[in-house]
Amino acid sequence: MTDRTYEPKHILAAIATVLVWSSAFTAVSMIVAPGGGYGPGQLALLRFLVASATMAIVAVIRRQRLPRREDVGHIMLAALFGITTYHLAFTFGETGVSAGASALIIASGPIWTALLAVAFLGERLNKYGWAGVALAFAGVSAISFGEGKGGFAIEPMAVVTLVAALATAAYFVLSKKPLRTYSAVEFTSYVIWFGTVPMLVFLPGLVQQAPLAPAWATWTIVFLGVFPGALAYLMWNYALSGMPASTTASFLYAQPVLASLVAWAVQRTVPSTVTIIGGTLALAGVILVQTKGRPKAMAPGA
């Protein structure tokens, strides 16, 4: 296998994205907590209305082309997983899961990306790969129990957060084909616009909640829409356009640590011992799959 090098601008885009995304876990956790003023569905909708408007401004300035008719179905499917499903599951999940634990569960995304590649792209995992999958699954299970209320019980919202991890894995796989045809700016615009449409089901509640919500919560959602929303997806898709999905996804390893540091600094929350152990197992499993989990001919970057 020949070594591959990637342009620094793609690597920097992935790093910048993870830094910005890490701030979103605590911000969302604060808003969906009592006193935040918004329900999780309404938060997600307002966030992506802001993101949609941001990308619309960019599109007008660039005189951006519309997607080709034959590509619309594929782009809509990517949007359904990467925007609609991911963000609704992530936001609802944070009503019962701490910011740090949520980041740990979502960091298992590369595991599910690898399994989707096995199921749909004909890739294979060796014994180390399957051991990594088992390790990561055990870790996510431990986090789910560690976040449970009232003793050793599973936290249902941890399972919802796991749906977000599965959705983002599907998005990584579905994004590669369109990014060969469309620029990162074009593709980001399309997926954000298409992904926002199903969230409009929460519009009546948003109309009721927005006038009564505290100003800090509304401005925080605007921040979430512009930065972890539109601009971060733009940077991430740019990174994906220059690196394999598995390589790009590996940058998510740092996200739980950064998200936990932000949660500690802002909310003074510290993950439980079980959550920390589970997170360590999950990340170890992800790293094992990414580094040793595939036969040499199908190693990451192939």
Alpha-carbon distance of 56 to 93, in angstroms, equals 29
Asked if residue 244 is part of any domain, the answer here is yes
Asked if residue 1 is part of any domain, the answer here is no
Asked if residue 2 is part of any domain, the answer here is no
Q: Residue range 182-203: average pLDDT?
A: 94
Q: Which residue range is the domain that position 187 belongs to?
A: 8-298
Looking at per-residue confidence, does 122 or 14 come out higher? 14
CB-based contact 32:203 (threshold 8 Å): no
Asked if residue 3 is part of any domain, the answer here is no
Q: Residue range 16-22: average pLDDT?
A: 87
Q: What pLDDT sits at residue 148?
A: 56
pLDDT in tens, 110-122: 777 777 777 776 7
Please determine, for residue 300, whether its predicted confidence score (pLDDT) is greater than 50. no
pLDDT in tens, 116-168: 777 776 777 788 878 888 887 788 777 767 655 554 456 678 888 889 988 98
Give 54-63's long-range contacts (Cβ < 8 A, gap of 24+).
54/225, 54/226, 54/229, 54/230, 54/231, 55/188, 55/189, 55/192, 55/193, 55/230, 55/234, 56/189, 56/193, 58/185, 58/189, 58/230, 59/185, 59/189, 62/185
Please determine, for residue 221, whether its predicted confidence score (pLDDT) is greater than 90. yes
DSSP of 14-35: HHHHHHHHHHHHHHHHHHHSTT
Total domain count for the chain? 1
Q: What pLDDT sits at residue 147?
A: 59
- Residue 298's pLDDT band, with cuts at 50, 70 and 90, is very low
